[in-house]
Chains A and B, each alone.
Chain A
Amino acid sequence: MQQDEVPQDEKNLNEGKLAKLYYATDAKGHYTKVNSIGWEPETVAMEQAWDVVHAEVEAARQKVIAGKASPVLYYLKKNIMNVPMVAGYMGTLSVIVRLHMLPFFFHKLSQKTLERYAYTFRITVEELLDTEKLKDKHES
């Protein structure tokens, strides 16, 4: 890639915080460093990955509202985690986390376990328990 071919696509997801470093060649074929503010294919791939995440979060939200799953499922998806990862944070087994994703078991959780979940998902216990609020949090 030549120095002047380093992509500078205005439409990017870097929020102006990041201009990545690229190695590119000068006229003689020797390498120099050039910053790039963004590149379309990369942005497309990232958007696509986030679309998948958003779709899963929305599906989880619907399930929680319908009473088929507990908020643990919603916040797990919201934080792009998976069950073994949450089990790691909770210091327990995956199967236990899976049970906690069912409303029946979720409603029996102790304050301590709830606090641990809240810490894992970086929210308060009140937020974790407040399923009403989920109703108007549409994920687009």
Chain B
Amino acid sequence: MRANFTHRQSAHCENGVVSNLLRFHGLEFDEPMIFGIGSGLFFSYLPFVKLNGIPVASYRIWPGHIFKRFANRIGVKIERKKYSTPKAAMDALDSMLEKGQPVGMLTSVFYLDYLPAAYRFHFNAHNIIVFGKENGRYLVSDPVMEYTTDISPEDLIRARFAKGVPEPSGRMYYPVTLPGKYDLEKAIWTGIKQTSDHMTHIPVPLFGAKGMKYLSKRLRYWPDRLGDRKAIQWLGNLIRMQEEIGTGGAGFRFIYAAFLDQASTVLNNEKLFDLSGQLTKSGDQLREFAYYAGRVCKNRTSDTRSFSELAAMLEDCSQKEQQIFSELYQISKAK
């Protein structure tokens, strides 16, 4: 059995799952729209929360929130479930597939063997859609892949019941009721307002544009504080957080810029297009940051000069984003 389902690739898994699920139910939203309306863009640096001994930097909002916010703003009602045993979770999945309903779910990347081996770390919040079962294998639409693929029931069970932080616990979700009518303009402005508010107005230096500046300050002293080997390891991790699967720093700036571009057409607002161009520049700079950071990692020599140069780039990004999102806040506040 398989649902009549069209897969489209996306840059980020959560957006992609929402976009593909809603398309199946007859609502057409492109990835950037979902990211923008769901207020996906963010920045946070949490030096006291460590993964494998390395502090967490994130270039977007916490997993799960994009979908939640988007659904609230457009008026889609979603059913979410979690399970205590693999059997209950797989039975529930099978019965949804019998009804011809594709289902979104949380999985651990480690057990998804269709992905290249190099990506398969224990990242437990990857979203995929299962849309059918054929010859004893589940048909999978993984939004970061170009085409649909399949997975064995054993691997899917492991992926859905992976341990660690966070635990997927067999979580799955699907839309139950869709809005007959919705106010797209209002949803876009609400999305912009929340993102720009959070990027500029949180009075804690770890979040938003301020967080970026804070990270740049800390980064400058990494070689002195940690020694060369560790400093390079932390830097490498920072690029992975920026670019790798499930995260993707500069990439998120580009998705958001694409959203502003699309929003300017929908709302007929030239200013948004202008700001989209400015955000593209900030994204370009983050890419350049990753490029030079990559060089530092590759040469395995960390002299403080390159670290302070990198810090300066990040600080510049922070200033740019502070300005862009302040402007966006001013525009969206009145709407």
Contact = CB atoms under 8 A, between A and B. Distances in A.
Q: Note whether A and B form a binding pair.
A: yes
Interface of A: 1, 13-15, 17-25, 29-31, 35, 39-42, 44-46, 48-50, 52, 79-82, 84-85, 88-89
Interface stretch (B57-65, B95-103, B249-257): B249-257
Contacts of B52: 82
Nearest to B240: A45
A17 B239 CA distance: 22
Contact of B236 (A14, A17, A19, A44): A44
Contact of B114 (A17, A40, A46, A50): A17
A31 B265 CA distance: 12
Interface stretch (B131-139, B189-197, B284-292): B284-292
B309 interface: no
Contacts of B45: none
A15 B145 CA distance: 13
A29 B237 contact: no
Listed residue (B32, B118, B255) with the most chain A CB atoms within 10 angstroms of its CB:
B118
Contacts of A29: 261, 273, 276-277, 280
Contact of A85 (B146, B163, B280): B163
Contacts of B90: none
24 contacts: A1-B250, A13-B119, A14-B118, A23-B11, A23-B251, A23-B257, A29-B261, A29-B280, A31-B258, A31-B261, A31-B262, A41-B290, A41-B297, A42-B239, A44-B239, A45-B236, A45-B237, A46-B118, A48-B236, A49-B121, A80-B110, A82-B52, A85-B163, A88-B167
B9 interface: yes
Contact of A44 (B121, B233, B298): B298
Interface in B109-145: 110, 114-119, 121-122, 144-145
Interface of B: 9-11, 32, 52, 110, 114-119, 121-122, 144-146, 163-164, 167, 232-233, 236-237, 239-240, 243-244, 250-251, 254-255, 257-258, 261-262, 273, 276-277, 280, 283-284, 287, 290-291, 293-295, 297-298
A80 B10 CA distance: 28
Given A13-B118, A17-B115, A42-B239, A22 B254 contact: yes
Given A41-B297, A80-B110, 17 more contacts: A13-B116, A13-B119, A17-B116, A18-B146, A20-B11, A29-B276, A29-B280, A30-B261, A31-B254, A31-B257, A42-B244, A42-B290, A45-B237, A45-B239, A46-B118, A48-B232, A50-B118
